[in-house]
Chain A
Amino acid sequence: MDKSRMVPVPSNAIMPERDIDKTPILETHHLGIDFGGLTAVDELSLTVGKTEIAGLIGPNGAGKTTVFNLLTNVYQPTRGTIMLDGKSTARKTTAQVNRMGIARTFQNIRLFNNMTVLDNIKVGLHNSINQPLGASITRLFGYRASEKKSREEALQLLSFFGMENMANMQAGSLPYGAQRRLEIARALATHPGIILLDEPAAGMNPSETAELMENIRRIRDEFQIAVMLIEHDMSLVMNICEGICVLDHGKVIAKGSPEEIKANPAVIEAYLGKKKEAN
């Protein structure tokens, strides 16, 4: 890893003013899911703008990952609707929802470990490459052109994350931080309108986290897409998110800008517990 990437953690002060497109790409209305008698998520209504970085935070077991699973239709919601760019995602499969424009990463990294880094990205590019089965089998009918295109596009994405020198390594043998980056790159390869990152900074040291923050901003700026992330690292969330939603026990307890969330008594209570009456 070269020294130049070890950027210091930016403070709030240097956070630039941006023109953020707040027209919603993702909206949920009164979303909820029950597992048997347990209500895991309830009455979740949130909006993410087209080039907004949104944070979803909350204590452990609050239902954050369940929300991601609902948004990607891994679970079908019991109540409520999800609108992606104005279209409902009800009764779609996970793969169809991805094609509609939601990409995601996972809390416990899910790469194709036995494939090369390059092939991982190529799998992500799957739906944007036109190569019919006949071309796959015969290596004719535009096989070469489509393979070349996918290779170029994959290398381009890898270079965005500074990983082009790892292209031919096995994904499972990469160091942890690189695996996280690869998973994000693979998600971006599906050309999403919004990318959901599930604890992208988990297990990272401060310099890696700072680099990740820079990357998330670059993703939004260069790809012009929305980012929604679950994270426990508050300095990351407060630094890069424009809108934050706090979940506790499956319910939204606060929504707003980082400043509003920091000052919100309900959030402090959820994280630190109630102040004693005697004090």
Chain B
Amino acid sequence: MNKLKNLNKFTFTNIQSYGIVLLAFIIIFPLQKAGLLGNQISGLLVPTCTYVVMAISLSLTVGFLGELSLGHAGFMSVGAFSGVVCAACLQNSIASDPLRLLIAIIVGGFFAGVAGLVIGIPVIRLRGDYLAIVTLAFGEIIKNIMNCLYVGFDKNGIHFSMTSAEALGLIDAKPILNGPNGAQAITKISTFTSGIILIVVALFIVLNLVNSKTGRAVTAIRDNRIAAESVGIGVTKYKLTAFIISAVIAGMAGALYAMNFSTIKPTKFDFNTSILILVFVVLGGMKNIPGVMIATIVLYAMPELLRGFASYRMLIYAIVLILVMLATNSSGAKQFFEKISSKIKKDENADVQNGGVSNG
């Protein structure tokens, strides 16, 4: 009986997580095919998928590893630009768009993983605030490197430069990455379906990891580092593993994101983007993957859908954020909601509505 209960707890989270993705796909895919979605909403689909993947990736670092990373957009950036370069180089040799996208995403994930390793080795030895500050700095460093990186591809192969587009010496070709102007004339090959598949892959990796030997070690380190060391767990090794996996997923999301736009600039992946993702994760409930996904969808889509309010939209966004925090954290608000729900129960309403987005 106990065994069954325990099993249910794990599978419940899994079913919830995969269920949300499946539901979103079932509802949106036919609408999109039928052309019933407006331009604005169709344009939001891939970015929303990307940010869901980013939030899942960051919840691995913040929720399960318990370290605050403020440079997650940096990994997204590495993934985005390496993915764009890869896709552009393969433009003529691979005709199939999905296959090229797949390779670009894998390459993006790989380079973000390398960046995660390089950054992780010094960073992961730090703890708490110090780790947050250093990841913030690394995020900015990545942004600035991308800002002066020129990459081109012609019949002689791939060219790199850190000074100017002319220094590439391209023959009959335009640079793929053009410093501060970023990547231009990207072939848009990201689709909603590919976004959904990437979410499922990210969920598969993170949810499996959590219930495994590696995941237990990571959770144990967060729970009690000294005790974890005393039972023979190499703290640095497992923190680094989780950090790199998180970076790889972020890089894959970045590649998908970039391939949805015709131009993308390095300044897109700045501190604000990192904080935005962190807000999704924190409001979604850190370790609560289904909650994180829902928070991302609502909070990402909302400012875009509020564009009608023009300059007031960020104000409304801020007010909603504060209300959500109050509703989930303040004891007064909790009592208020409890009163309402008990009243509803008294009125013999069988269906008690769940009030908020995030209850974690």
Of residues A96, A126, A167, A168, which shows the largest number of chain B Cβ atoms within 10 Å of its Cβ?
A126
Report whether A95 and B234 are in contact in the complex, using a CB–CB cutoff of 8 Å: yes
Known A95-B233, A133-B241: A126·B216 in contact at CB below 8 Å:
yes
Cα separation A129 to B231 with both chains bound (whole Å): 13
Contact A187–B216 (Cβ < 8 Å)? no
- Asked if B230 and A94 sit within 8 Å, CB to CB, the answer is yes
Q: In the assembled complex, how far is the CB of residue B1 from the closest CB belonging to chain A, in whole angstroms?
A: 10
- The residues of B that contact A113 with a CB separation of less than 8 Å are 223-224
Q: Evaluate contact between B219 and A131: CB separation under 8 angstroms.
A: no
Cβ contact of B220, chosen from A123, A137, A167, A189, cutoff 8 A: A123
Known: A115-B220, A168-B6. Contact between A123 and B228, CB under 8 A?
yes
Once the chains bind, are B235 and A95 in contact (CB under 8 Å)? Answer: yes
Flag if B6 contacts A95 (CB, 8 Å): no
Instruction: Name the distance in Å between B247's Cβ and chain A's nearest Cβ.
Output: 15
Task: Known contacts A112-B219, A126-B231; decide if A136 and B6 are in contact (CB<8 Å).
Answer: no
Q: Which of A98, A114, A139 contacts B231 (CB 8 A)?
A: A98
Does any Cβ of A come within 8 Å of B156's Cβ?
no
A122 closest partner in B (C-beta) = B216
A215 an interface residue at 8 Å Cβ cutoff?
no
B224 and A126 contact, CB distance less than 8 A? no
Residues of A within 8 A of B241 (CB): 133
Which chain A positions have C-beta within 8 A of B2? Answer: 165, 167-168
Q: Is the CB of A136 within 8 A of B215?
A: yes
Interface 9-residue window, one of A37-45, A77-85, A102-110: A102-110
Bin the interface of chain A by size. 35 or more
Q: Given A133-B241, A136-B208, A137-B208, does the pair A187, B231 have CB atoms closer than 8 Å?
A: yes
CB distance from A194 to the nearest CB of B (A): 13
Do B212 and A123 touch (CB < 8 A)? no
Query: Any chain A CB within 8 A of the CB of B209?
Result: yes
Contact in complex: B229, A123 (CB < 8 Å): no
B5 lies within 8 A of chain A by Cβ: yes
Which residue on chain B has the smallest CB distance to residue A171? B223
Contact call B223/A112, Cβ cutoff below 8 A: yes
Name A104's closest neighbour in chain B (CB-CB).
B230
Report whether A72 and B208 are in contact in the complex, using a CB–CB cutoff of 8 Å: no
Assess whether A99 is in contact with B223, with CB atoms less than 8 Å apart: no
Of residues 221 through 245 on chain B, the ones whose CB sits less than 8 Å from some CB of chain A are: 223-224, 226-235, 241, 245
- Bound complex: CA A65 to CA B216 (Å): 28
Bound Cα distance A207, B215 (Å)? 38
Q: Is the CB of B223 within 8 A of A126?
A: no
CB-CB nearest in chain A for B237: A95
Q: In the complex, A261→B74 CA distance in Å?
A: 64
Q: Are B209 and A99 in contact (CB under 8 A)?
A: no
A124 to B230, CA, bound (A): 9
CB of A60 within 8 Å of the partner chain: no
Task: Report 7 cross-chain contacts, Cβ distance below 8 Å, ordered by A residue.
Answer: A98-B230, A112-B227, A115-B220, A129-B213, A136-B215, A139-B212, A168-B2
The 7 lowest CB-CB distance pairs between A and B, nearest first, are: A136-B212, A98-B232, A110-B227, A112-B223, A94-B229, A131-B213, A136-B214
Residues of A within 8 A of B (CB): 72, 74, 93-96, 98-99, 103-104, 106, 110-116, 119, 122-124, 126-127, 129, 131, 133, 135-139, 143, 146-147, 150, 165, 167-168, 186-187, 189-190
Binding site for A on B (CB under 8 A): 2-3, 5-6, 204-205, 208-209, 212-217, 219-220, 223-224, 226-235, 241, 245
Not counting A115-B223, A123-B216, A123-B233, a sample of 18 additional A-B residue pairs whose C-beta atoms are within 8 angstroms of each other reads A93-B234, A95-B233, A99-B232, A110-B226, A113-B224, A115-B216, A115-B219, A119-B216, A119-B219, A123-B220, A126-B216, A129-B213, A131-B212, A131-B213, A136-B214, A137-B209, A168-B5, A186-B231
